Amino acid sequence: MNEHEIVDRLRGFAREGYSVTRMFNELKLLLGNDEAHVIEILQYFRSAFCLTLKEAKPIAALSRTGYREVSDEHLLEQLVMPAITKHRNEWDKQEVE
């Protein structure tokens, strides 16, 4: 699966109402790597949802375990989902182009 397909899948997950943690876990599956590097994960979230580094940073902060498991799903949702929603018009438009 190439980068464009992965970004499209993440956007589809968001449209279907997936939580940030579920999208995070699905991304790890798409990458085929339970120990995916945090920079790669952040880049996909940033690309998919037009997030700034500051907006995506909680993903790194709350997934510092050895296998990149989210330590506080509720907090991650509170910190990242508003930014994903805020940028919805931007990432919806990118998909159409």
Q: What is the pLDDT of residues 40-78, one digit of tens each?
A: 999 999 999 999 999 999 999 998 776 678 889 999 999
Does 96 have pLDDT greater than 80? no
Sequence-distant (≥ 6) Cβ neighbours of residue 10 within 8 angstroms: 23, 26, 27, 44, 45, 48, 49
CA distance 75 to 29: 22
Q: What is the pLDDT of residues 13-34, one digit of tens each?
A: 999 999 999 999 999 999 987 6
Cα distance between the two ends of the chain: 20
Q: What is the pLDDT of residues 2-14, one digit of tens each?
A: 999 999 999 999 9
| Domain boundaries defined on the chain | 3-96
Q: Count how many Cα atoms sit within 13 Å of the Cα of residue 61 in the half-sphere of its side chain.
A: 11
Q: What is the mean pLDDT of residues 84-93?
A: 93
Supply the pTM of this predicted model.
0.91
CB atoms within 10 A of CB 45: 23
Does 91 have pLDDT greater than 90? yes
